[in-house]
């Protein structure tokens, strides 16, 4: 089984810590780098070429341009926009910039064990 490499960029340290902890429990996933600004999305793309970058849309810098630039640097990297914004005002620009997916921070994870 191959490992999926992940870059995680969010300007909330507690959010990053929680997601890294959650992902570290899953077999086959490895967080290779984290960051807190739009510039970090580009840096992670160029240094690590991860399989996936999960990027918050509400952080310092132009995240939409960072998404487009990252895809040019590392075309195999999939970008997932991760945000608390529920409207299309951020979803459409993220997808137009090249994001492959859009996940709301308010989403819940599927329950894997009965009674959880």
Summarised one tens digit per residue, pLDDT across range 38-72 is 999 999 999 999 999 999 999 999 999 999 999 99
Displacement of CA 69 from its chain's centroid (Å): 15
Which of 6-10, 24-28, 73-77 shows the lowest mean pLDDT across its residues? 24-28
Task: State residue 87's pLDDT score.
Answer: 73
What are the strands of the beta sheet with 101-104, ordered from one edge? 29-35, 4-9, 52-56, 78-83, 101-104
């Amino acid at each position: 089984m191959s490992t999926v490499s992940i870059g995680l960029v969010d300007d909330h340290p507690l959010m990053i810590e929680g997601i890294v902890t959650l992902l570290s429990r899953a077999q086959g996933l490895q967080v290779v780098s984290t960051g807190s600004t739009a510039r970090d999305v580009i840096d992670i793309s160029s240094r690590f070429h991860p399989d996936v970058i999960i990027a918050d849309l509400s952080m310092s810098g132009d995240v939409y341009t960072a998404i487009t630039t990252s895809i040019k640097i590392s075309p195999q990297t999939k970008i997932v926009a991760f945000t608390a914004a529920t409207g299309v005002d951020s979803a459409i620009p993220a997808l137009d910039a090249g994001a492959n997916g859009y996940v709301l921070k308010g989403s819940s994870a599927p329950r894997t064990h009965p009674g959880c």
